[in-house]
Amino acid sequence: MQPGRTDEQKHNFVREVTNVAVETLKCKPESVDVMIIEIPKTHWAKGGELPTN
């Protein structure tokens, strides 16, 4: 994930990802781990190219 999301947005994201995993995998929420790693845009390549800006 690129930096810039608020703590509230990250909290909501983690909650929703957990909910989908629980529903899909029929597991307990405690067994779902979500890790957010913020990667600067300058380190995020797409199609073999780093951003030029």
Domain ranges of the chain: 1-53
For 5-33, what is each residue's pLDDT tens digit? 999 999 999 999 999 999 999 999 999 99
R_g of the chain computed on alpha carbons:
15
pLDDT at 48 over 90: yes
Three-state secondary structure call for residue 49:
strand
Per-residue pLDDT, 5: 97
Q: Any idea which architecture 1-53 has in CATH? A: 2-Layer Sandwich (3.30)
Q: Which residue has the higher pLDDT, 14 or 51?
A: 14
Indicate the SS3 state at residue 16.
helix
- Is the distance from CB of 38 to CB of 3 less than 8 angstroms? yes
Q: What pLDDT is recorded for position 52?
A: 79
